[in-house]
């Protein structure tokens, strides 16, 4: 299936082969898309990322801490120089200080709030703005959210607030970017539990996996969870989703619809 033949994607947030961004990249690569990656600066991280994305034969790798405007500018300059223009932007990253996740929400500090919302939500706005001039018409931007945006999830705390802001930002970006002459779509995938580095940072991921496996209407298992997310990402990246923007699409085996 080469529905993305001739398309180019810039992917933010692959850390290793477990990353949701990696599985999205895998689905896009198998559909014929050319890929490039941006990762947090740092030698150790870079080595990990180079190894993880090697099967995708990346066009380039660009270090970028999304909390730094100058990094974002430099990354888009690299994309313009190496890609010319591109079609798909994948935003698959988030961060909150550990203490904000492991202490009561009531104790969230102003600093932790700012950091979590800056890196996990504002970065989508900043990347979309910087990318629009070099993205092609009918392009697609996607981000990753989680059920915590809507429902109480133990320990998700300030990250839940960041995901609510992210989903709202998706709607505002979608409305503006859809009306712009380039008609770029902006959507979120709200993924079920996937065993990744970020999920381990929040804690209880193994317990959560068991809960998903037991409660989700469709099978939701550790070894295939991210593959499901990758398939919906492929739909959002391709023109099969040409009429879809501003949505938060749940890819969680139906877990979010179950009340009891």
Residue 33 binds ligand NAD (CB under 6 A):
no
Whether 90 and 123 have beta carbons less than 8 Å apart is answered as no
- b/e for 170-206, b at 16 or more Cβ within 10 A? bbebbeebeeeeeebbbbbbbbbbbebebbeebeebe
Which CB, 65 or 176, lies closer to ligand NAD? 65
Quote the least distance from Cβ 5 to ligand NAD, whole Å.
26
Integer angstrom CA distances of residue 11 from 18, 105, 118: 15, 31, 19
Residue 186 binds ligand NAD (CB under 6 A):
no
Quote the least distance from Cβ 175 to ligand NAD, whole Å.
22
Quote the least distance from Cβ 3 to ligand NAD, whole Å.
23
Q: Going by DSSP bridges, is the β-strand pair 135-145/86-91 parallel, antiparallel, or unpaired?
A: parallel
Which CB, 129 or 182, lies closer to ligand NAD? 129
Residue 232 binds ligand NAD (CB under 6 A):
no
Which position among 11, 15, 35, 174 is part of the footprint of ligand NAD (CB under 6 A)? 15
Which CB, 182 or 214, lies closer to ligand NAD? 214
Tokens 């300059």 — which residue?
77
Q: How many residues does the chain have?
A: 260
Residue 94 binds ligand NAD (CB under 6 A):
yes
How many residues contact ligand NAD, by CB under 6 A?
A: 25
Which position among 11, 27, 35, 66 is part of the footprint of ligand NAD (CB under 6 A)? 66
Which position among 67, 85, 136, 256 is part of the footprint of ligand NAD (CB under 6 A)? 67
**Of 6, 20, 39, nearest in space to 190 by CA:** 20
Which position among 35, 36, 40, 170 is part of the footprint of ligand NAD (CB under 6 A)? 40
Interacting positions 46-65 with ligand NAD (CB under 6 A): 64-65
156 in active site: yes
Which position among 96, 117, 135, 193 is part of the footprint of ligand NAD (CB under 6 A)? 193
Residues that bind ligand NAD (CB under 6 A): 13-15, 19-21, 40, 64-67, 92-95, 119, 144, 146, 191, 193-194, 196-199
Give the residue numbers marked as catalytic.
Answer: 146, 156
């Amino acid at each position: 299936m080469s529905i993305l033949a001739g398309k180019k994607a810039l992917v933010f947030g692959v850390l290793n082969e477990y990353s949701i961004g990696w599985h999205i990249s895998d689905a896009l690569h198998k559909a014929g898309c050319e890929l490039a990656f941006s990762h947090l600066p740092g030698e150790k991280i870079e080595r990990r990322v180079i190894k993880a994305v090697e099967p995708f034969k990346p066009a380039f790798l660009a270090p970028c801490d999304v909390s730094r405007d100058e990094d974002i500018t430099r990354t888009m300059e690299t994309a313009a120089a190496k890609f010319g223009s591109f079609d798909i932007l994948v935003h698959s990253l988030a961060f909150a200080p550990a203490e904000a996740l492991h202490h009561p929400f009531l104790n969230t500090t102003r600093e932790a709030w700012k950091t979590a919302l800056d890196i996990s939500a504002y970065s989508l706005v900043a990347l979309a703005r910087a990318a629009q001039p070099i993205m092609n018409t009918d392009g697609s931007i996607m981000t990753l959210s989680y059920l915590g945006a809507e429902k109480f999830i133990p320990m998700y705390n300030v990250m839940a607030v960041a995901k609510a802001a992210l989903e709202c930002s998706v709607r505002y970006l979608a409305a503006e970017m859809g009306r712009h002459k380039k008609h770029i779509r902006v959507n979120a995938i709200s993924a079920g539990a996937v065993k990744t580095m970020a999920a381990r940072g929040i804690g209880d991921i193994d317990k959560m996996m068991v809960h998903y496996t037991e409660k989700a209407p469709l099978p939701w298992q550790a070894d295939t969870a991210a593959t499901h997310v990758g398939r919906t990402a492929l739909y959002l990246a391709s023109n099969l989703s040409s009429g879809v923007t501003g949505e938060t699409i749940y890819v969680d085996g139906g877990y979010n619809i179950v009340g009891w």
